[in-house]
Amino acid sequence: MSAPADLPFDLNALPPAVREAFAAMQAKVAGLEAQTERQDYLIAELRHALYGKRSEQLGPDERQLAFEDLETAVAEAEATRHALAERNADGKARRPPAKRNLGHLPDHLPRIEQVIEPAQKTCPCGCTDMVKIGEDRAERLDIVPARFQVIVTVRPRYACRRCDAGVVQADTPNWLIEGGLPTEGTLAHIAVSKYADHLPLYRQCQIYGRGGVDLDRSTLANWCGVAAYHLAPVVDRMLIHLKRSGRLFMDETRAPVLDPKAGKTKTGYLWAVTRDDRGWGGGDPPAVVFTYAPGRHGHHAMDILVGFDGILQVDGYTGYDALAGPKRVGGMPLTLAYCWAHSRRKLHDIYQKDGSEIAAEGLRRIAQLNKIEASVRGQSPEERQAGRQTQSAPLIADFRLWLTHQRSRISAKSRLGEKLGYIHRHWDGLQIFLTDGRVEMDTNPVENTIRPITLNRKNALFAGHDEGGRTGARMASLIETCKLNAVDPYAYMRETLTAIANRQPSSRVAHRRPHALGLTEAVKLKA
């Protein structure tokens, strides 16, 4: 081995053992430098994903995927660097310190104790056996993959040895699918996996196959259909209950379905009706009901909202306009409260494309309003209204003057003119939140409920037929309402399907809404 030119001594003059140790140290330093450089790069990528320019940032779902891979790579690089840095003289790496998650493992999880006794409990002096004076306990989270089991129902028959009075046997238990394979828990699991965890049925079949259970996709589809049929009265009752509220949110999202006749995909829509009074501490729990429709025409909204009278919070889609008109079918004309978040997006699009200072000024003004809203969130309607009248109303009045002035200077046919015209057309509905403390500034509550639908759309078609769209809408209604109320969707569906199988009256089943049940603690999601 030749000595590097920059060393202050001749490496060849050193004893062989020292030369080997020096070479090992050089390799270690080089490895540490390489791992440090890799970590720095990965950390920079994470920071960019979090704080990079808006135009370069990923969408919410894409960002989560990027975080997963980048954080995994960072952990791998850190573990490698730590192993290099902590290597003992004998070449063995010392165990890195454990990184603990915040908090502790939930108390409701079952504990399986593993007692590890010393190999020798006799005193080294040989006098006697040692006695226990204490113990150390450490908890780790263990995950057992889906375990399949078979429920064998045995009904013994009994007869008297002395007479022929007859045979005694328990009645056949009630099952949701008579003579079928699945328990109600199995039906709940399949439905939640498809509609909450976005696992299409064919992927579930693959997972079950790895566990040695071969089930056909059409079989799972049939089971889902049976469950949806029995749960339909619950969803119908939920919508009736929501329409008794004085204020609701409504929005729609695409739900691509197959058109078997045409042999291609067509666009259906899910119309979401949401109640969320948490912003002002309302007593009614949050809930959402999805209704599938083959189109986006406004008459679908008209049909869904028959029987509702009050304030409807929506975006600027013109399909809602008829709901506020004198020819509305199914009730009195509704008051439409429009969304400031959509107005902001109009200006944000212009600012991103053109760098318009006028759009930037509009964004700054809306940001002031949002800051005030954050300060009054959770207060009573009266307190919210008072705070808005004191702080937001002057800003709204000044915004109106600014808007009028800018529209007089800008062509209505320009891109910026069109966006400002959008705000102008919806101005009356944008001011309603000032006079009613129950009204929100935006429609974010309903948009949050339809976001999982968008994720499912990315994984697969929403449905293979219009009827499948209606089934998906029912399931999504129950699952998303469970989430809004911190109820475990699987536990809720299992309990409800079991109640239906036990022949509870339909009137009682219809009232088993996720937000209305006095569910057991096992059903409640642990915070």
Nearest to 255 by CA among 462, 480, 470, 468: 462
With contact defined as beta carbons under 8 Å apart, do 75 and 96 qualify? Answer: no
Per-residue pLDDT, 430: 96
Q: How far apart are CA 93 and CA 82, in angstroms?
A: 9
Tell me if 157 is assigned to some domain: no
Per-residue pLDDT, 250: 96
Q: How far apart are CA 294 and CA 301, in angstroms?
A: 12
The two three-digit tokens of residue 215, written as one number: 């089930």
Per-residue pLDDT, 361: 95
Tell me if 262 is assigned to some domain: yes
Collapse the DSSP code of 54 into the 3-class scheme (helix H, G, I; strand E, B; otherwise coil) and give the result.
Answer: helix
Per this entry, what is the length of the chain?
527
Tell me if 149 is assigned to some domain: no
Per-residue pLDDT, 60: 57
Tell me if 254 is assigned to some domain: yes
Tell me if 452 is assigned to some domain: no
Per-residue pLDDT, 520: 37
Tell me if 333 is assigned to some domain: yes
With contact defined as beta carbons under 8 Å apart, do 252 and 269 qualify? Answer: yes
Tell me if 433 is assigned to some domain: yes
Burial 449-458 (b: 16+ CB within 10 A, else e): bbebbeebbe
Domain that holds residue 15: 1-49+63-95
Q: Quote the pTM value.
A: 0.74
Q: How many domains does the chain have?
A: 2
Per-residue pLDDT, 136: 84
Tell me if 14 is assigned to some domain: yes
pLDDT along the chain (527 residues), means of 10: 57 76 80 75 68 53 53 59 60 50 69 84 76 82 79 89 85 82 90 86 89 85 84 90 94 78 74 94 92 91 94 94 92 95 93 91 96 94 96 96 94 92 95 95 92 65 64 89 92 90 63 51 36
Q: What is the pLDDT of residues 248-288, one digit of tens each?
A: 999 998 887 766 556 567 788 999 999 999 999 988 899 99
